[in-house]
Structure 1
Amino acid sequence: MGARPIQTEDLLRAVTIAESSNGSPEVAISPDGRRVVFRRREGFPAENRYRVDLWTVDIAVGKARALTSHEFSVHPHAVLGPCWSPDSTCVAYVLPGAPARRIRLLHVDGGQQDFAIGSGAVVTGVGSSVLRWSPDGRLIAFVRGADEGNVPSHPLLAPEGSYLDDDVRHGIEIDLARGSTLGWQVPPPVQSLCVLDVQTGRVSQLGPRTLNVTGFDWSPDGRRLVVAGSTQHTGPAADSRSDLMIVDVASGELEPCLDQPGADEHPVWSPDGEWIAFVSHRGEHTWTVGGVPAVIRPDGSALTYPARGFEERLFDAGNIFWSADSSAMFVEYPYRLGRHLFRVPLREGDPVQVTPPGDHWHSSFSASSTGRVAFVRESPVDPQEVCVADLDSTSPRPVTRLNGHLADRIRPSVRHLSWRSADDRFDIHGLLMLPPDHADGRRYPLLVELVGGPTMVPAAFGSYAFPVLAMAARGYAVLVPNTRGRPGFGETFGRAIAAGDAEFAEPWRDAMGGVDLVIQQGWADPQRMGVMGHSYGALLLAYGLTRSDRFQAAAFHEGAVDTLRTMAFQWDSPDNIARCRENTGRGSPFEPAERDAILAESPLHHVHRIHTPVLIESGELSPAAMEAAIFANALHDRGVPMEYVVYPRTGHVTDEVALIADDYRRDVTWFDYWLRDVPLTDRVKQQRYDEWKRSMRARAAAQALDEPVHTTTRKDPRR
């Protein structure tokens, strides 16, 4: 095909392996360190389907091949959770489909076995513990729940057959408000710890029936399992109230190991059997901030936090595994704008970064008994590939070339920027993408992406919600600022919003500091700027539009605008109340002073200040759908140009690849018109929008001269 700039179609066809940084690992290296098995997912936009299979690669040879050939699916999130047997001869994984009631064994020398798990389904959302072989290779431990299928359980997902309606597959564009609001899930039933005997096929439940398990691991002798869980809570409540317990495999008896407030999760037994490592919230009941690595003796003694004192550098620990000699843990951390592996000594010494420095994203680590690790590596411009490294060298060596079809795509250049916050409290960091042919002294239309969460701006391929890589290759400068309240830069920075900073005012000022810097450096044209955000990022965007007219266009995806209504609706239980306090830094919305403070930042209550055209997108089944409809109504009433799109069969995140393609197309078309004057195919719409542009230019000129503005800004541009 020849070299050309990367496009949205390339992003949709990129092969992916890891689902998320803290999700179930989809890479497994054999204990002998010779082979890697991994999940391979590829999207097919024209068919609106994904193909998800297991592949394997012989490390010495370096050639990958398929192990399975599953049916196509509209769901992209199938978790397979591959796990090698101790003798490296067999791979166990969760057979995709709905319901996920089978575990399949694939033998290296050929052949397979399927085992039914009885009622319920394998729970795949339990961190690093999907399937775990016992040390003797006789049993496989897993968690069984009531979920119908090994895709994330959500009441908003429609049945499989409803995804075949071609008439509405590409979105619904509407003028009048349409939407719905749905409450949160009822806490699900207990997730039980079970073991499968691979010789007899028998499945046994361990522990009391009230034990809800969120993570587990075997003891080296195979006689016990350590579990993270609760005997009193299920569902989201259990995620923030998990304790450590020991289950005797023979008797099923349960003994406490650690009982303290907050979450203690992702337990991993040391190879010598002396310690259990885990991620701990240090006895603090929190919902929105991360944890730190901890160790404890199996009898519940000697609780220690080995990385104590480094929280301002390393916080929000991810998956953990042990060194072969049990002298140290290896911990995944969000660090600066990347994700890296650190060696944390058990007793003495400082944490040491073992992955190469830089803005790269490393995830899904799997360690062999030989000291070799396999993992996924990517960057903002490099797609996911499986790499291997020895822990004593950690120089990544790719062993797959899954995205060779993208090798000749011309990609933007990426720069890591930093600037001081307006209140002089923090150094704010961000990624700046520049067109491949960028030149000094030339200014480009600027797009600012405000990531949702607030989660860390990831140095990962593609984008969280927008096709930023393709848009930068198209001629935009794209800034993605890591505003306060996000991981990657220590505990104080990550907890800034929960500690009392305004939920939107200071983060918005953080982002605008980055915009000012890019303009100052000569890369951005201040007369051609757009802003886009998803979820929290959309809310932050809406707040900013009520404070500034510096942006010529905006894209609002799955956000809220009535913050008082949102908080009042969620102020219904101790858990939700505490979560609201952490998310917003605010108190009760029913107290006059707090209510007034919330209203002061609420975008809806200042919507009359917005003069920026907005592309509004929402899933028809999303809890944020009503907020999108309200925002569309408000802009419609004010006569501000907007397009309101509701995607069918979609919740808070768009999953169907055909709908994602439609989403990307609309984003590109919207900003191309408003920032680059690219003509629209709809001439009538362009005439309306052109009229708005002229009125805004007249308004800006009049304001510059401090003269009255004679424009009819309440005129509906769609009429």
Structure 2
Amino acid sequence: MNKYLLIISLAVLSFSTQATNLINDERIKDQKDCFSWIFTDYDSWRTMVKTQQSKKLASEGEVKGAMQSFDNTFGKENFNSYKNNLSCRTFMYQVDGIDVHGYVIKPKLSQKKLPVLIFNRGGNGNFGKVSFPNMMPNLFPIANEGFVIIGSQYRGTLSKNTLLDEFGGKDVNDVIALFDFIPNIEGADPQRVGMYGHSRGGMQTFLALNKMKGIKAIASIAGATDLLEELKFRPFMEKIYSRQIPDYQENKAAELEKRSVLKWVNKLPSNTPILLLHGANDKRVSVNNSIELAAALTENSIPHKLVIYPDDNHALTQNKENAHKELISWFREYL
């Protein structure tokens, strides 16, 4: 009898992890619930993290401190609230014949169609991929305010060939492709679409905007706007550029200029408002990137708003809630 009970239990567990589709499009494959596996409930997630910390840290006091930090960052009450209020799916789609991973997050209950935000992540390859621990503090709070969020992990991420990511090359197609799925997202309004990105995602946002129609407003958080100049501020990026960008050694200046919106501000649509957020103490991307872009937007009569957070860092750690309020207010105004 116990054997049969075990089989039934496993079947129920398997069924519970299957997600109803949020995107009704035959091009979208393998939709899975974000709130599954160890993320089915807060305690199972916390237990796994504690087990990992116990293996890494020397003392019980250090483990206790690490778990206190975990609870301060996430929290059971927040987790349960988001699980009750939001639907979240990961999925697979194809661009240029390549399998690409994506995700979609939306409020469960709404009496009307909701505006959509395409989010562009930072990093490169698997570094910076959007995982559940990244979604919860960064994307869930915005989706919870009445937005559908859809994003790409970019080609090569979660695969064996991370060099497929060209850091602003053909991977921009992975962002553009998302737009075609929006009409098929349950409860999404395809007439109200915005886009925003953090760090490298700011660059992706400007590159995609120049190739897309129907984007009503955008935002860039700590984005690089002049990659060649930025190398003087952070020479480490030479290693990333040379590895990810095709023909970099032969055409360094040209390839970086292609990815630098400051070099082609006049090509941006003049009727798409732009929000720029940046920490004044950003050690990864100089705040001058946003300051100089704001000046160029003024010269080209492109509507924009620049917000600089004094003493804050690349992730806007000290002002995360304020930054979320800026984003929410911006897109509510223009979408």
The answer, yes or no, to whether TM exceeds 0.5 is yes
Equivalent positions of 1:182-581 (< 5 A) are 403-404=76-77, 407=80, 410-421=84-95, 423-424=96-97, 426-438=98-110, 443-454=113-124, 455-460=128-133, 462-463=135-136, 466=138, 468-486=139-157, 488=158, 490-492=159-161, 494-497=162-165, 501=166, 503-521=167-185, 523-567=187-231, 569=232, 577-581=238-242
Q: Report whether the alignment pairs 1:627 with 2:289.
A: yes
Structure 2: which amino acid aligns with 1:491?
Answer: K
Equivalent positions of 1:41-60 (< 5 A) are none
Give the secondary structure class of the aligned counterpart of 1:27: helix
Give the secondary structure class of the aligned counterpart of 1:510: helix
Q: In structure 2, how many angstroms separate the alpha carbons of the residues matched to 1:578 and 1:472?
A: 35
Q: In structure 2, how many angstroms separate the alpha carbons of the residues matched to 1:566 and 1:476?
A: 33
Structure 2: which amino acid aligns with 1:473?
Answer: N
How far residue 505 of structure 1 moved from its aligned partner, in angstroms, is 3.4
- Structure 1 residues 526 and 650 mapped into 2: Cα distance closer, same or farther (>3 Å)? same
Structure 2: which amino acid aligns with 1:412?
Answer: L
Higher helix share: 2
Q: Specify the alignment match of 2:310 in structure 1.
A: 648
Q: In structure 2, how many angstroms separate the alpha carbons of the residues matched to 1:571 and 1:473?
A: 35
Q: In structure 1, how many angstroms separate the alpha carbons of the residues matched to 2:331 and 2:287?
A: 23
Equivalent positions of 1:119-130 (< 5 A) are none
Q: Specify the alignment match of 1:274 in structure 2.
A: none
- TM-score norm. by structure 1 comes to 0.35
For residues 142-173 of structure 1, what are the alpha-carbon distances to aligned partners after superposition, in whole Å with 9 as ceiling and x for unaligned?
xxxxxxxxxxxxxxxxxxxxxxxxxxxxxxxx
How far residue 405 of structure 1 moved from its aligned partner, in angstroms, is 6.6
How far residue 576 of structure 1 moved from its aligned partner, in angstroms, is 5.7
Is the contact made by 2:203 and 2:260 (CA closer than 8 Å) also made in structure 1? Answer: no
- Structure 1 residues 483 and 579 mapped into 2: Cα distance closer, same or farther (>3 Å)? closer
Is the contact made by 1:538 and 1:557 (CA closer than 8 Å) also made in structure 2? Answer: yes
Higher relative contact order (CA 8 A, sep 6+): 2
- Structure 1 residues 577 and 620 mapped into 2: Cα distance closer, same or farther (>3 Å)? closer
Is the contact made by 1:446 and 1:478 (CA closer than 8 Å) also made in structure 2? Answer: yes
Q: Number of aligned pairs?
A: 281
**Which ranges in structure 1 are unaligned for 5 or more consecutive residues?**
1-13, 30-80, 85-90, 97-363, 365-373, 385-401, 676-719
How far residue 513 of structure 1 moved from its aligned partner, in angstroms, is 1.2
Q: In structure 2, how many angstroms separate the alpha carbons of the residues matched to 1:25 and 1:540?
A: 37
Q: Specify the alignment match of 2:53 in structure 1.
A: 27
Q: In structure 2, how many angstroms separate the alpha carbons of the residues matched to 1:95 and 1:411?
A: 30
Q: In structure 2, how many angstroms separate the alpha carbons of the residues matched to 1:600 and 1:405?
A: 41
For residues 113-150 of structure 1, what are the alpha-carbon distances to aligned partners after superposition, in whole Å with 9 as ceiling and x for unaligned?
xxxxxxxxxxxxxxxxxxxxxxxxxxxxxxxxxxxxxx
For residues 73-112 of structure 1, what are the alpha-carbon distances to aligned partners after superposition, in whole Å with 9 as ceiling and x for unaligned?
xxxxxxxx7434xxxxxx353999xxxxxxxxxxxxxxxx
How far residue 404 of structure 1 moved from its aligned partner, in angstroms, is 3.9
C-alpha RMSD of matched pairs (Å): 3.6
- Structure 1 residues 94 and 496 mapped into 2: Cα distance closer, same or farther (>3 Å)? same
Percent identity of paired positions between Structure 1 and Structure 2:
20
Q: In structure 2, how many angstroms separate the alpha carbons of the residues matched to 1:621 and 1:639?
A: 28
Give the secondary structure class of the aligned counterpart of 1:506: coil
- Structure 1 residues 580 and 548 mapped into 2: Cα distance closer, same or farther (>3 Å)? same
For residues 233-270 of structure 1, what are the alpha-carbon distances to aligned partners after superposition, in whole Å with 9 as ceiling and x for unaligned?
xxxxxxxxxxxxxxxxxxxxxxxxxxxxxxxxxxxxxx
- Structure 1 residues 549 and 461 mapped into 2: Cα distance closer, same or farther (>3 Å)? same
Larger of the two Rg values belongs to structure:
1
Q: In structure 1, how many angstroms separate the alpha carbons of the residues matched to 2:221 and 2:237?
A: 23
- Structure 1 residues 515 and 377 mapped into 2: Cα distance closer, same or farther (>3 Å)? farther
Structure 2: which amino acid aligns with 1:435?
Answer: P
Higher strand share: 1
- Structure 1 residues 427 and 377 mapped into 2: Cα distance closer, same or farther (>3 Å)? farther
How far residue 448 of structure 1 moved from its aligned partner, in angstroms, is 1.0
Is the contact made by 2:54 and 2:63 (CA closer than 8 Å) also made in structure 1? Answer: no
For residues 470-492 of structure 1, what are the alpha-carbon distances to aligned partners after superposition, in whole Å with 9 as ceiling and x for unaligned?
33233221102111243x2x221
Q: Report whether the alignment pairs 1:603 with 2:277.
A: no
Q: In structure 1, how many angstroms separate the alpha carbons of the residues matched to 2:81 and 2:254?
A: 55
- Structure 1 residues 604 and 549 mapped into 2: Cα distance closer, same or farther (>3 Å)? farther
How far residue 557 of structure 1 moved from its aligned partner, in angstroms, is 0.5
